Amino acid sequence: MNRSLKIGMFGFGCVGQGLYDILENNEGFRAELVKICVKDRTKPRKLPSRYFTFDKEDILENPEINLVVELINDADEAYHIVTTALKKGKIVVTANKKMLAEHLAELVALQEQYDTALLYEASACGSIPIIRNLEEYYDNELLFAVSGIMNGSSNYILSKIFNENLSYHTALKQAQDLGFAETDPTLDVGGFDALNKLCILAVHAYGTLIRPEDAFNYGIQSLSVHDIQFAKEKGYKIKLLASVRKTQENAITAFVIPQFIKKEDYLYNVENEYNGVTVEAAFADRQFFMGKGAGGHPTGSAVLSDISASRYQYKYEYKKLAQHHNIRYTTEHQLEVYLRYHDEEDLELLRFTEISEKYSGKNFNYVIGIVSLKHLTHIKAELASRNIFIAATGQKLNQPQELVYNHATAAKELVP
């Protein structure tokens, strides 16, 4: 059944304006934008004033509006808007990954309780339809890992550094001027944005709810010319990667960390504001998705996809969450990392269990070795305060024998 949609939208920034442009230029799509709630009363806008309101109740209490699109930056206010709308039986489409990562269990329960739908394709990886694919295409797959570049702002900065030899601060300023990075870029360059997206993807990939505070994230804000020179001499690029992967039977782990990428890796050529996601699975093997992860029109297209799907009563089934496979989250995992450090105290902080390479110079010291992800999670605040840089080497450790599947072995596991 193709239902008639009357939309109330919160926020008219980059994504909101992008969505409006798409709606206006999409022939054959029947949906009426009834009202837009905004905060700034003085900001000039390209639409007539009758479209706008400064009172959220004009949307939430309007029985005519049956779909709410939430596109604001404030995660706490977004939570109030989304929960109120769901309780009133309205369909909700949101792009707020922080709000979702922190409250997803409650939101899943609310949409079931009030028999409505919460859709959020635009919350992870911009224009890449990764949530829908994990939810539907991979619904019965044995997934080994979902990993990749999930923040367009940090990838834009790193691309400019490696491809155009810009300094970190110059590249960051460009990203801010283009609207890819906020005035305070901490969420992007600190790996928090990618971590929130990863927590959302973990639910659809493995049916496991992960709290952001329980996972390790480390960003690129401590990157120096020494790290860039090291990577270039080895023929690598540095990308900020997010990864959720199976580590052993009925256990997964998740982390966000800069990583050295080799030329033969798909992600090596994912540049600027683009995102790239690799899905590793037993039957489908390795598949790669790439698309713009930032910008009004790319993200707006993902919002439009959810709006379009809602016309036909589409909702996430959360099959893996409902199957109760009891896949637990763990930080009992080993990583091989590169550490650029200042003094021996920095080196001692990481508690390397094994060191394979070490260099000490007048202005530059580094070590490559194996560390515990659990320990990294405990010390991440102190790592950031010391302004030292770490990056994964890309070597896969803790790969239990049961995860080294061939297709025949995987097929046997699915036979009752």
Q: What pLDDT digit, counting tens, does each position of 242-300 carry?
A: 999 998 778 999 999 999 999 999 999 999 999 999 999 998 899 999 999 877 788 88
Identify the CATH homologous superfamily for domain 139-292+318-401. Answer: Dihydrodipicolinate Reductase; domain 2 (3.30.360.10)
| Whole-number Å distance between alpha carbons of 413 and 416 | 8
What is the predicted pLDDT for the residue at 21? 86
The two structure tokens encoding residue 332: 């009992």
Give the percent of the chain with pLDDT over 70: 94
What is the predicted pLDDT for the residue at 411? 43
What is the predicted pLDDT for the residue at 306? 93
pLDDT category of residue 15 using cuts at 50, 70 and 90: confident
Its pTM surpasses 0.85? yes
Whether residue 367 is predicted with pLDDT greater than 90 in this model: the reply is yes
C-beta separation of 273 from 153 below 8 A: yes
CA distances from 254 to 51, 200, 216 (A): 42, 11, 7
What is the predicted pLDDT for the residue at 399? 52
What is the predicted pLDDT for the residue at 403? 47
> Averaging pLDDT over each range in 21-25, 344-348, 398-402, which range is the top one?
344-348
The two structure tokens encoding residue 124: 């992870």
CA atoms within 13 A on the CB side of 229: 8
Average pLDDT over residues 46-67: 94
Whether residue 402 is predicted with pLDDT greater than 70 in this model: the reply is no
Residues spanned by CATH 3.40.50.720 within the chain? 5-123
Whether residue 410 is predicted with pLDDT greater than 60 in this model: the reply is no
Torsion on CA atoms 381, 385, 390, 396, rounded to nearest 10: -10
Q: Is 65 exposed, middle or buried (0-12, 13-18, 19+ CB in 10 A)?
A: buried
Average pLDDT over residues 205-209: 94
Note the CATH architecture for domain 5-123.
3-Layer(aba) Sandwich (3.40)
Give the percent of the chain with pLDDT over 90: 70
What is the predicted pLDDT for the residue at 2? 66
What is the predicted pLDDT for the residue at 408? 43
Average pLDDT over residues 60-87: 96
Least confident of 19-33, 196-210, 382-396: 19-33
C-beta separation of 80 from 110 below 8 A: no
What is the predicted pLDDT for the residue at 19? 87
How far is C-alpha 107 from the chain's CA centre? Answer: 18
Whether residue 16 is predicted with pLDDT greater than 90 in this model: the reply is no
What is the predicted pLDDT for the residue at 45? 87
Can you state the angle between helices 152-164 and 168-177, rounded to 10 degrees? Answer: 130
Active site residues: 197
pLDDT category of residue 324 using cuts at 50, 70 and 90: low
Round the CA-based radius of gyration of the chain to a whole number and report it: 22
Least confident of 21-25, 32-36, 172-176: 21-25
What is the predicted pLDDT for the residue at 249? 77
Whether residue 206 is predicted with pLDDT greater than 90 in this model: the reply is yes
Average pLDDT over residues 186-214: 95
| Whole-number Å distance between alpha carbons of 341 and 226 | 11
Query: Taking Cα atoms as reference points, which of 26, 21, 68 lies closest to residue 47?
Result: 21
Whether residue 148 is predicted with pLDDT greater than 80 in this model: the reply is yes
What is the predicted pLDDT for the residue at 405? 45
Query: Taking Cα atoms as reference points, which of 301, 342, 332 lies closest to residue 398?
Result: 332
pLDDT category of residue 1 using cuts at 50, 70 and 90: low
Can you state the angle between helices 225-233 and 152-164, rounded to 10 degrees? Answer: 70
pLDDT category of residue 29 using cuts at 50, 70 and 90: confident
List pLDDT tens digits, range 327-341. Answer: 899 999 999 999 999
Using alpha carbons only, give the angle 176, 181, 184 rounded to the nearest 5 degrees: 90
More confident residue, 43 or 67: 67
| Whole-number Å distance between alpha carbons of 121 and 299 | 9
Residues spanned by CATH 3.30.360.10 within the chain? 139-292+318-401
Taking each continuous run of H as one helix and of E as one strand, the counts in the chain are 15, 17
More confident residue, 301 or 101: 101
What is the predicted pLDDT for the residue at 85? 98
Range 304-308, long-range pairs (CB < 8 A, 24+ positions): 304/19, 304/22, 304/23, 304/26, 304/29, 305/121, 305/129, 305/132, 306/93, 306/119, 306/120, 306/121, 306/122, 307/5, 307/7, 307/31, 307/67, 307/69, 307/93, 308/29
More confident residue, 290 or 403: 290
pLDDT category of residue 157 using cuts at 50, 70 and 90: very high
What is the predicted pLDDT for the residue at 398? 58
* Mean pLDDT of all residues belonging to the chain: 90
